[in-house]
Amino acid sequence: MADEGTGPTRRGFFVGAAVAAGTAVAAGATGWLLRGVDGDASTAEGAPTASASPAPDADRRPGITFPDVPQRHLALRVLALDGVESAALPALVAAASRVESPPDAGEVTVTVGYAPAHALTLWPERAAAASELPAFAHDDPAIVTGGDLAVQVCAETASGARDAADAVVAALGARIVWQQAGYRDAPTPHGTARTSTGFIDGIVNPRTAELREAGVWTDAVHRDTHLVVRRMLISASFTAQPVAAQEQAVGRSRDTGAPLSGGGPDDEVDLFAKTADGRLLTPAASHARRAHPSHIGRPLMLRRSYSFDPPSGAGLVFIAFLSDPQTFVMTQRRMDEMDDLMAATTTDASGCFFVPGE
Ligand code: HEM
């Protein structure tokens, strides 16, 4: 296969980049963890040495399942590399991994996805499910799609995420198709975060290796995955509603994140629970019901979204990692039919990219 034997190995990256650039870069071909230079550990010649750190294991991939609590800031860049053949991309991406880690930015992760056409050329079997997304009901008529690569940079500082993303873009010599900065509010005790709507997002996520094998990684050998990224604007008419009406649309408490069907935030949504007079506690058109994976018989996708603040209303850079993009398509189709949260959204940029693992 085109990816094998052409680039540095996982260990090669870690060691090679540490020596060459003074940064420690860990993890697979398209997910890196940037670490800063340890200023106290200079050699006798004054050359900086990298602060060594163990590479995350195969199930803990930078910017996907590592770190456990997603970093506070996102710099997303969807890029065009005009005139560059598919076969040339992996080496360009590998070279771009040698960027310096910005100071004080915590764990800085760089996660790169390939557009379906490139993925199908480079990894025809592994990426067989790669596909562009179809149009959906609440897409902006002028929605921006396309691009050759998606680069997701996450860091604990906004400037660190931006600087690292800019360095990767410069190293690739790429043109920006669309980009978006995002943030996550301070984490809840569960490691989830409130979006700019004030609701806690990311509660129902695959948190065990078994669930990730089913819903995130394409197979247990390579642990490839598909990245869906959509820039969604939530109308001010949604956020201006009384909280009770917003909760009916979402199907959860805005305060605690608990399902309207009862229990605590970690309890499952009970789709059958009713009031004494027979009304569904999780409303028919609520997001928690419409997005529930049980309807489509598919495993759970991993959602790792970031907020942004548009001029009015609220914004979400919806980010999900899935073993099969069709899980997203089927979920979104159900929400297009009926979903009181989705009805208040417009998506103005969108893409689906293949993220190769080992
Ligand atoms: C404006 C955009 C969106 C917002 C503000 C939003 C918000 C939320 C919130 C607050 C929850 C409940 C807490 C949780 O389980 O995380 C949730 C659940 C969920 N959302 Fe979204 N969401 C958005 C878009 C999407 C999209 C585009 C999809 C996929 C097509 C999606 C899929 C899901 C799924 C699968 C769940 C878990 C449902 C369950 O099993 O209980 N969401 N979302």
In a domain, 1, yes or no: no
In a domain, 47, yes or no: yes
| Average pLDDT of the segment spanning 59-84 | 96
Burial class of residue 7 in the structure, from the number of CB atoms within 10 Å of its CB (0-12 exposed, 13-18 middle, 19+ buried): middle
CA 30 to chain centre: 13
pLDDT tens profile 176-189: 999 999 999 999 99
Average pLDDT, the chain: 87
In a domain, 199, yes or no: yes
- What letter represents residue 10's amino acid? R
Q: Which domain holds residue 225?
A: 10-355
Distances (CA, A) of 75 to 23, 72, 109, 186: 20, 11, 10, 17
Atom of ligand 1 nearest to the CA of 251: 12
Q: Best of 248, 318, 352 to mutate for ligand 1, by most ligand atoms within 8 A of CB?
A: 318
Question: Per-residue confidence at 15, pLDDT binned at 50, 70, 90?
Answer: very low
In a domain, 5, yes or no: no
pLDDT at 328 exceeding the cut of 90 = yes
Question: Per-residue confidence at 42, pLDDT binned at 50, 70, 90?
Answer: very low
Distances (CA, A) of 253 to 53, 270, 288, 292: 40, 14, 11, 16
Distances (CA, A) of 354 to 122, 179, 188, 298: 11, 18, 30, 19
pLDDT tens profile 216-273: 999 988 999 999 999 999 999 999 999 999 999 999 999 999 999 999 999 999 999 9
Q: Is the minimum distance from the CB of 332 to ligand 1 under 6 angstroms?
A: yes
pLDDT at 4 exceeding the cut of 60 = no
Distances (CA, A) of 66 to 61, 62, 63: 5, 5, 6
Residues in the chain: 358
Burial class of residue 154 in the structure, from the number of CB atoms within 10 Å of its CB (0-12 exposed, 13-18 middle, 19+ buried): buried
Cis peptide upstream of residue 67 (ω within 30 degrees of 0):
yes
pLDDT at 191 exceeding the cut of 50 = yes
Atom of ligand 1 nearest to the CA of 192: 16
Q: Is the minimum distance from the CB of 204 to ligand 1 under 6 angstroms?
A: yes
If phi over 0 gives left and psi between -120 and 50 gives alpha, with beta otherwise, what is residue 342? alpha
- 42 or 198, higher pLDDT: 198
pLDDT at 145: 98
Could you tell me the distance, in angstroms and rounded to a whole number, from the CA of residue 291 to the centre of ligand 1? 6
Could you tell me the two tokens for 325? 């993009």
The fraction of the chain above a pLDDT of 90, given in percent, is 80
> What are the beta bridge partners of residue 303?
320
In a domain, 299, yes or no: yes
Q: Is the minimum distance from the CB of 202 to ligand 1 under 6 angstroms?
A: yes
Structural domains of the chain, count = 1
For the four alpha carbons of 216, 217, 218 and 219, in that order, the dihedral sign comes to negative
In a domain, 2, yes or no: no
pLDDT at 29 exceeding the cut of 70 = no
Distances (CA, A) of 76 to 162, 232, 307, 340: 9, 14, 12, 28
Question: Per-residue confidence at 212, pLDDT binned at 50, 70, 90?
Answer: very high
In a domain, 325, yes or no: yes
| Average pLDDT of the segment spanning 7-35 | 38
pLDDT at 316: 98
pLDDT at 234: 98
Question: Per-residue confidence at 159, pLDDT binned at 50, 70, 90?
Answer: very high
Distances (CA, A) of 122 to 144, 147, 299, 324, 352: 25, 16, 27, 18, 16
Judged by DSSP in three states, 261 sits in coil
Q: Considering only 48-57, 149-158, 168-177, 248-257, which range has the smallest mean pLDDT?
A: 48-57
Question: Per-residue confidence at 30, pLDDT binned at 50, 70, 90?
Answer: low
Atom of ligand 1 nearest to the CA of 293: 40
* H helical segments located in the chain: 10-21, 89-96, 116-122, 158-172, 209-215, 236-239, 243-250, 287-290, 325-337
Q: Is the minimum distance from the CB of 319 to ligand 1 under 6 angstroms?
A: no
Question: Per-residue confidence at 98, pLDDT binned at 50, 70, 90?
Answer: confident
**Is there a contact between 353 and 149 (Cβ–Cβ < 8 Å)?**
yes
pLDDT at 137 exceeding the cut of 90 = yes
Q: Best of 287, 318, 331 to mutate for ligand 1, by most ligand atoms within 8 A of CB?
A: 287
Could you tell me the distance, in angstroms and rounded to a whole number, from the CA of residue 308 to the centre of ligand 1? 16
Q: Best of 204, 231, 270 to mutate for ligand 1, by most ligand atoms within 8 A of CB?
A: 204
Q: Is the minimum distance from the CB of 195 to ligand 1 under 6 angstroms?
A: yes
- What letter represents residue 173's amino acid? G
| Average pLDDT of the segment spanning 347-351 | 98
In a domain, 101, yes or no: yes
Could you tell me the distance, in angstroms and rounded to a whole number, from the CA of residue 193 to the centre of ligand 1? 13
